[in-house]
Amino acid sequence: ACFGQSNRGNPVIIIGNYRFLKDRDLGLKTRWACIKKRFLKCTASITTLEGIIVKTTDDDELVPVFLKSKFGRPVIELGGYRYNKRSDRNGRRASWRCVKKRRLLCPAFIVTFDKDVIDIRNRHNHN
Domain of 32, CATH number, reads: 2.20.25.240
Handedness of CA 80, 15, 47, 39 (dihedral sign): negative
pLDDT at res. 40: 79
Domain of 21?
2-51
Strand-pairing partners, residue 21, are 12, 33
State pTM to two decimals: 0.54
Residue 60 falls inside a structural domain: no
* 103 three-class SS: helix
Considering the domain architecture, whether residues 69 and 114 belong to the same structural domain is answered as yes
Q: How many domains does the chain have?
A: 2
Considering the domain architecture, whether residues 116 and 69 belong to the same structural domain is answered as yes
Considering the domain architecture, whether residues 82 and 112 belong to the same structural domain is answered as yes
pLDDT at res. 125: 81
Considering the domain architecture, whether residues 107 and 78 belong to the same structural domain is answered as yes
Residue 58 falls inside a structural domain: no
Residue 20 falls inside a structural domain: yes
pLDDT tens, the chain, 127 aa long:
678 888 899 999 887 667 899 999 988 889 999 888 777 778 888 888 877 777 777 555 566 788 888 899 999 888 778 899 987 767 788 999 999 888 888 988 888 887 777 777 767 787 7
**Residues 78, 62 contacting (CB under 8 angstroms):** yes
**Geometric angle at alpha carbon 99, from 66 and 92, rounded to 5°:** 45
Residue 111 falls inside a structural domain: yes
pLDDT at res. 126: 78
